Structure 1
């Protein structure tokens, strides 16, 4: 519902500004109604715990990537369209639309746009 505790509280305030309240029903038999101060406090605490867990997970992920890089095990995701670059440029040079090119090659339109942009700006 929100990316951070502050974001969640801002959403709750926008709901309250419309003379409504947020009611969360899936709390293990309990419900939280943000019109109630105790429920609002519980929601804030749960959001803070969730944000902390997310931060810890990201920290562990960064540490794992750093260890993998130091052991030359982490290369990142291989570029999807590198092997299809020539086919993409050929299709575009033959006046095929970007959407059709992406559909025929089974790749995203964003990838086709990026290849076209890189070629146009001389990065390829």
Structure 2
């Protein structure tokens, strides 16, 4: 059985999400698991998809970056998949489809995961360098703290006798942000 898995990091990535689903259906996936969560968050649908795998099945993803965060994570996922006697198919690796049920597929996957992780780390380094340069030029101030924009509301609610927990829930802020607002 071909089991498809599609993921985007945010709910506003409609086009990318739909494109993955179309690719997976076109490839012939009989069952689909989909979610819109960050790669670092708990991915319940991925876990369900892997749990569903049986001997001879294949987990199919449209793109490598929709599945694994880094080389170590890819290795862990591949171990889980192979422990079930299943394989992994990645549809969009350049112009080729990679199938880990073959030795060549495993080799290509390992090289691609390593390159992808290298690219991600290089991008992070360039981002840090760019932020430092912008700070030195006085162009980068950082993000505007959302909770601090509500300091007046926090103080007004406190003055009205509203409980701290209720204020946090109402304004969607953490305990630390609540106390920071009181100091302003």
Partner of 2:87, secondary structure, is: coil
Residue by residue over 1:11-68, the C-alpha shift from the partner in whole angstroms, topping out at 9 and shown as x without a partner, is 1011111221112233456322212111011111111111111111111111111111
Comparing 54-63 and 24-33, the one that deviates more: 24-33
Find the aligned partners of 2:102 and 2:179 in 1 and give their Cα distance: 53
Could you say which structure has the greater relative contact order, defined with CA pairs below 8 angstroms and 6 or more residues apart? Answer: 2
- Gapped regions of structure 1 (runs ≥ 5): 103-108
CA distance in 2, matches of 1:29, 1:64: 33
Q: Does 2:162 correspond to 1:94?
A: yes
Are the aligned partners of 1:85 and 1:115 in contact in 2 as well (CA < 8 Å)? no
What TM-score results when the alignment is normalised by the length of structure 2?
A: 0.53
More off after superposition, 12-21 vs 23-32: 23-32
Q: Aligned pairs, how many?
A: 113
Decide whether the 8 Å contact of 1:89 with 1:116 is kept in 2.
Answer: no
Normalized per residue, the structure richer in helix is 1
Equivalence for 1:106: none
Q: What is the aligned-residue RMSD (CA, Å)?
A: 2.4
Q: Distance in 1 between matches of 2:137 and 2:81?
A: 50
Deviation of 1:117 after TM superposition, in Å, equals: 4.9
TM-score, length basis structure 1: 0.75
1:44 aligns with 2:44: no
- Runs of 4+ aligned structure 1 residues displaced above 6 Å come to none
* Structure 2: 5+ residue stretches without partners: 1-66
Structure 1 residues 83 and 29: alpha-carbon distance in aligned structure 2, compared to 1, 3 A threshold: closer
Matches within 5 A, 1:1-124: 1-27=67-93, 30-91=96-157, 93-95=161-163, 97=166, 98-99=168-169, 101-102=170-171, 109=172, 111-118=173-180, 124=183
Give per-residue Cα distances to partners, 1:86-109, cap 9 Å, x unaligned. Answer: 31243364248233x22xxxxxx2
Alignment match, 1:105: none
SS in 1 for 2:144: coil
Q: Which has the larger radius of gyration?
A: 1
